A and B are shown apart, each in its own frame.
Chain A
Amino acid sequence: MTANGTFQIVLYLVVLIALVKPLGWYMARVYEGKLRTPILRHIETFTYRLAGVSPDSEMNWKRYLSAMLLFNLLGMMILYALARLQLHLPFNPQHFSAVAPDLAFNTATSFATNTNWQAYAGESTLSYLTQMLGLTVQNFLSAATGMALLIAMIRGLVRQETTNLGNFWVDMVRGTLYVLIPLSLIFSLVLVSQGVIQNLAPYKTASLIATVKYEQAKLDDAGQVIKDSHDVPVMEAKVVTEQVIPMGPVASQIAIKQLGTNGGGFFNVNSAHPFENPTPLTNFLEMLAILLIPAALCYTFGMMVRDTKQGWVILFAMLFIYVPLTIGTISIEQSGNPALSKLGISQAAMPNISPGGNMEGKETRFGIVNSAIWATATTATSNGSVNTMLDSFMPLSGLVPLWLMQLGEVVFGGVGSGLSGMLIFIILTVFIAGLMVGRTPEYLGKKIEPYEMKMASFTVLIMPLVVLVMTAVAVVTHVGINSISNPGTHGYSEILYAFSSLTNNNGSAFAGLNANTPFYNIWGGIAILIGRYWYAIPTLAIAGSLARKKAIPSGAGTLPTNTFLFLVLLIGVVIVVGALTFFPALALGPIVEQLTLWNQYGS
Chain B
Amino acid sequence: MLEVMKQLKTGLVLLLLLSILTGIVYPAVVTGIAQLVFPWHANGSLIWKNDKIIGSELIGQFFSDDKYFWGRPSATTPYPYNAESSSGSNYGPLNPDYLTAVKNRLNQLHQSNPNAGMEVPVDMVTTSASGLDPEISPLAAVYQVSRIAEARKISKDQIMKLVEANIQHRLWGVIGEPRVNILQLNLALDAADRGANQ
Residues of chain A at the chain B interface (Cβ within 8 Å): 4, 7-8, 11, 43, 47, 50-53, 66-67, 70-71, 74-75, 78, 121, 123-124, 132-134, 136-137, 139-141, 169, 172-173, 176-177, 180-181, 184-185, 188-189, 192-201, 203-210, 212, 214, 216, 238, 240, 243-247, 249, 251-253, 255-256, 267-269, 272-275, 278-281, 283-284, 336-337, 339-340, 343-347, 350, 352-367, 369-371, 386-389, 391-395, 485-488, 490, 493, 510-512, 593, 596-597, 600
> Which residue on chain B has the smallest CB distance to residue A196?
B41
List 11 A-B residue pairs with CB atoms under 8 Å apart, sorted by A's residue number.
Answer: A51-B13, A71-B15, A198-B31, A206-B54, A206-B55, A207-B52, A267-B86, A273-B132, A340-B102, A346-B118, A355-B137
Contacts of B41 in A (CB 8 A): 192-197
Supposing A197-B44, A268-B86 touch, asked if A70 and B94 sit within 8 A by C-beta, the answer is: no
A249 touches B103 (CB 8 A): no
The interface on chain B, measured as residues whose beta carbon lies within 8 A of the other chain's beta carbons, has a size of 109
> Which residue on chain A has the smallest CB distance to residue B44?
A197
B174 touches A360 (CB 8 A): no
Most buried by B among A4, A74, A195: A195
The distance from the CB of B171 to the nearest CB of chain A, in whole angstroms, is 5
Contacts of B78 in A (CB 8 A): 214, 216, 238
Chain A to chain B: the 6 pairs with minimum beta-carbon distance, closest first:
A280-B176, A512-B90, A272-B129, A367-B177, A354-B139, A490-B92
Contacts of A267 in B (CB 8 A): 86, 130
Q: How far is the CA of A279 from the CA of B41 in the complex (A)?
A: 12
Q: How far is the CA of A203 from the CA of B35 in the complex (A)?
A: 16
B175 touches A339 (CB 8 A): no
A205 touches B53 (CB 8 A): yes
The reply on B146 being an interface residue by CB < 8 A is no
The distance from the CB of A262 to the nearest CB of chain B, in whole angstroms, is 12
Contacts of B85 in A (CB 8 A): 121, 123-124, 268
Contacts of A363 in B (CB 8 A): 128-130, 133, 135
Q: How far is the CA of A189 from the CA of B98 in the complex (A)?
A: 39
Most buried by B among A136, A141, A206, A371: A206
The residue that A281 contacts in the complex, of B7, B35, B59, B171, with Cβ under 8 A, is B171
> Which residue on chain B has the smallest CB distance to residue A192?
B34
Q: Tell me the residues in window 1-40 of chain B with beta carbons closer than 8 Å to chain A beta carbons.
A: 6-15, 17-19, 21-24, 26-27, 29-31, 33-35, 37-38
B122 touches A279 (CB 8 A): no
> Which residue on chain B has the smallest CB distance to residue A256?
B22
The distance from the CB of B69 to the nearest CB of chain A, in whole angstroms, is 11
Q: How far is the CA of A255 from the CA of B72 in the complex (A)?
A: 28
Contacts of A340 in B (CB 8 A): 102, 122, 125
Q: How far is the CA of A107 from the CA of B175 in the complex (A)?
A: 34
The reply on B127 being an interface residue by CB < 8 A is yes
Most buried by A among B11, B31, B85, B93: B93
The residue that B96 contacts in the complex, of A137, A199, A485, A487, with Cβ under 8 A, is A487
Q: How far is the CA of A43 from the CA of B22 in the complex (A)?
A: 13
Supposing A252-B27, A512-B91 touch, asked if A359 and B176 sit within 8 A by C-beta, the answer is: no
Contacts of A197 in B (CB 8 A): 41-44
The reply on B142 being an interface residue by CB < 8 A is yes
The reply on B188 being an interface residue by CB < 8 A is no
The distance from the CB of A387 to the nearest CB of chain B, in whole angstroms, is 7
Supposing A133-B19, A192-B41, A193-B38 touch, asked if A361 and B90 sit within 8 A by C-beta, the answer is: yes
The residue that A188 contacts in the complex, of B30, B88, B135, with Cβ under 8 A, is B30
B63 touches A210 (CB 8 A): yes
Q: How far is the CA of A522 from the CA of B88 in the complex (A)?
A: 25
B86 touches A210 (CB 8 A): no
The distance from the CB of A437 to the nearest CB of chain B, in whole angstroms, is 45
Q: How far is the CA of A107 from the CA of B26 in the complex (A)?
A: 22
The distance from the CB of A563 to the nearest CB of chain B, in whole angstroms, is 35
B88 touches A364 (CB 8 A): no
**Mask: chain B, 178-194; 1 = CB below 8 Å from A; 0 = not:** 11000100110010000
B46 touches A52 (CB 8 A): no
The distance from the CB of B37 to the nearest CB of chain A, in whole angstroms, is 8
The distance from the CB of B116 to the nearest CB of chain A, in whole angstroms, is 11
The reply on B106 being an interface residue by CB < 8 A is yes
Q: How far is the CA of A150 from the CA of B103 in the complex (A)?
A: 52
The reply on B160 being an interface residue by CB < 8 A is no
> Which residue on chain A has the smallest CB distance to residue B135?
A364
Contacts of B174 in A (CB 8 A): 4, 7-8, 11
B30 touches A206 (CB 8 A): no
The reply on B61 being an interface residue by CB < 8 A is yes
The distance from the CB of B73 to the nearest CB of chain A, in whole angstroms, is 9
Q: How far is the CA of A278 from the CA of B90 in the complex (A)?
A: 21
Q: Tell me the residues in window 90-117 of chain B with beta carbons closer than 8 Å to chain A beta carbons.
A: 90-96, 98-99, 102-103, 106
B83 touches A243 (CB 8 A): yes
The distance from the CB of B174 to the nearest CB of chain A, in whole angstroms, is 6
Supposing A123-B84, A206-B56, A269-B129 touch, asked if A364 and B93 sit within 8 A by C-beta, the answer is: no
B130 touches A52 (CB 8 A): no
